[in-house]
Amino acid sequence: MEENKFSLKSCLANLDLMIAGTVLAILIVLTFAGVIWRYFLGKPFTWLEEVQTACMVWIVFSAAGAAFRMGNHVAIEMIVDLMPKALQKVMTILISVVVVAVLGYLFDKTIGFIQIFLRSGRATSMMKIPFWLIYGIAIPAYIDMIVSYFYSIWKGVKSEAKEAASVNE
């Protein structure tokens, strides 16, 4: 039986990309409309910068996990590739520990920042968008990044540079 491309499993596995794509579309439409209103109608959207900034935060954080899954994160692999195979495996473990430690640290600090935003009730000046809502995307994003990182290792996802090198060999 052929699996449907648009299954629930596929949607959930790519939820981060769907969120990033949707927010990117909103950002493009609003920016385009902002240009039209400002230059052709002489009435700029005073709130546009706040929404654009929030959109950029959501795009970056929601797409980060997908970048891990697809091997699109910046990686300097040249030195590790020059090492013997046994040492490469040790380096892979060491790199995994560092990645998880850094993402865990960021996760912990972000929770603190979100709690401050919740307690203070801080919001943007024009639209009154709560800062916890803008930056709250980081918490599930860090979890998505860790899961996606280990998924990419488990599936043997290569970075684009390694993929290109293996094609040219």
Each residue's pLDDT tens digit, 92-137? 889 889 999 999 999 999 999 999 999 999 999 999 999 999 999 9
Q: What CA–CA distance (Å, rounded) separates 107 from 103? A: 6
Which of 46-50, 51-55, 78-82, 144-148 has the least mean pLDDT? 78-82
Structurally, how many domains does the chain consist of?
1
Which of 44-58, 64-78, 114-128, 153-167 has the least mean pLDDT? 153-167
Determine the structural domain holding residue 92 and report its residue range: 8-168
Asked if 158 and 70 count as a contact pair (C-beta separation under 8 A), the reply is: no
pLDDT given at position 1: 44
Q: Is residue 2 part of a domain?
A: no
Q: What's the start-to-end Cα distance of the chain, in Å?
A: 36
Could you tell me the pLDDT band of residue 163, with boundaries at 50, 70 and 90?
low
pLDDT given at position 19: 94
Q: Is residue 144 part of a domain?
A: yes
Q: In terms of pTM, does the model score above 0.75? A: yes
pLDDT given at position 43: 87
Q: Is residue 27 part of a domain?
A: yes
Per the model's pLDDT, the better-predicted residue between 166 and 144 turns out to be: 144
pLDDT given at position 5: 62
**Tell me: the pLDDT tens digits for 9-60?**
676 678 999 999 999 999 999 999 999 999 988 888 999 999 999 999 999 9
pLDDT given at position 76: 66
Q: Is residue 1 part of a domain?
A: no
Q: Is residue 138 part of a domain?
A: yes
Q: Is residue 31 part of a domain?
A: yes
Q: Is residue 154 part of a domain?
A: yes
